[in-house]
Amino acid sequence: MDLVPALEEPLKKVLGPATAKVMAEHLGLHTVGDLLHHYPRRYEERGQLTHLADLPMDEHVTVVAQVADARLHTFASPRAPRGKGQRLEVTITDGSGRLQLVFFGNGVHKPHKELLPGTRAMFAGKVSVFNRRLQLAHPAYELLRGDGEEATESVESWAGALIPIYPATAKLESWKIGKAVQTVLPSAQEAVDPLPESLRAGRGLVTLPEALLKIHRPHTKADIADARARLKWDEAFVLQVALARRRHADAQLPAVARRPRPDGLLAAFDDRMPFTLTEGQQKVSREIFADLATEHPMHRLLQGEVGSGKTLVALRAMLAVVDAGGQAAMLAPTEVLAQQHHRSVTEMMGELAEGGMLGGAEHATKVVLLTGSMGAAARRQALLDLATGEAGIVIGTHALIEDKVQFHDLGLVVVDEQHRFGVEQRDALRGKGKQPPHLLVMTATPIPRTVAMTVFGDLETSVLDQLPAGRSPIASHVVPAADKPHFLARAWERVREEVAQGHQAYVVCPRIGDEEDDKKAKKSAEDDAEKRPPLAVLDVAEQLARGPLQGLRVEVLHGRMQPDDKDAVMRRFAAGETDVLVATTVIEVGVNVPNATAMVIMDADRFGVSQLHQLRGRVGRGAAPGLCLLVTEMPEASAARQRLNAVAATLDGFELSRIDLEQRREGDVLGQAQSGARSSLRVLAVIEDEEIIAEARQEAAAVVAADPELERLPGLRTALDALLDEEREQYLEKG
| Mean local confidence (pLDDT), 290-312 | 86
Higher pLDDT, 688 or 442: 442
What pLDDT, on the 0 to 100 scale, is given for residue 261? 85
Could you tell me which residue, 227 or 435, shows the higher pLDDT?
227
pLDDT digits (tens, 9 = 90+) for 319-366: 999 999 999 999 888 887 888 889 889 988 988 888 766 566 677 899
Give the global pTM: 0.66
CA pseudo-torsion sign 574, 580, 586, 590 = positive
Q: For residue 662, what pLDDT band results from cuts at 50, 70 and 90?
A: low
Which residues, 6+ apart, have CB-to-CB distance to 674 below 8 Å?
A: 422, 423, 455
More confident: 404 or 2 = 404
Low-confidence winner among 27-41, 464-478, 569-583 (lowest mean pLDDT): 464-478
Lowest pLDDT segment from 62-71, 130-139, 514-523:
514-523
Q: What is the pLDDT of residue 729?
A: 45
Would you place residue 726 in the very low, low, confident or very high pLDDT band (cuts 50, 70, 90)? low
The distance in angstroms from the start CA to the end CA of the chain is 34
- The pLDDT, as a whole number, for residue 530 is 47
**Max Cα distance, the chain (Å):** 96
Residue 152 has pLDDT above 50, yes or no: no
Instruction: Please state, in angstroms and rounded to a whole number, the distance separating the CA atoms of residues 689 and 422.
Output: 25
pLDDT given for residue 209 in this prediction: 93
Q: What is the pLDDT of residue 1?
A: 30
pLDDT of residue 225: 93
Segment 508-514 shows an average pLDDT of 86
Span 213-222, average pLDDT: 91
Ramachandran category for residue 388: left, alpha or beta (phi over 0 → left; psi -120 to 50 → alpha)? alpha
Q: What pLDDT, on the 0 to 100 scale, is given for residue 670?
A: 39
**pLDDT, tens digit (0-9, with 9 covering 90-100), for 187-202:** 889 888 889 999 999 9
Q: Which residue has the higher pLDDT, 84 or 48?
A: 84
- Specify the range with the lowest mean pLDDT, choosing from 13-22, 283-292, 676-685: 676-685
pLDDT tens for 453-509 read 776 777 788 888 776 666 677 889 999 988 888 999 999 999 999 999 999 999 999
What length does the chain have? 735
C-alpha 587/C-alpha 570 separation (Å) is: 10
Whether 33 and 194 have beta carbons less than 8 Å apart is answered as no
Model pLDDT, residue 45:
73
Residue 155: pLDDT over 70: no
Average pLDDT over every residue of 387-399: 90
Which range of 3-17, 255-269, 448-462 scores highest in mean pLDDT? It is 255-269
Which pLDDT band holds residue 211 (cuts at 50, 70, 90)? Answer: very high
Residue-averaged pLDDT of the chain: 82
Of the ranges 198-212, 279-293, 587-601, which one carries the lowest mean pLDDT score? 587-601
* Segment 1-13 mean pLDDT: 69
Q: Which letter does DSSP use for residue 52 in this model?
A: G
Three-state helix/strand/coil letters over 505-523: EEEECCECCCHHHHHHHHH
Q: What is the pLDDT of residue 414?
A: 92
Instruction: Answer yes or no: is pLDDT of 317 > 90.
Output: yes
Among 117, 81, 59, 411, smallest CA distance to 256 is for 411
Confidence of residue 567 (pLDDT cuts 50, 70, 90): confident
Give residue 610's pLDDT band: very low, low, confident or very high (50, 70, 90). confident
Residues 414/319, Cβ–Cβ less than 8 Å? no
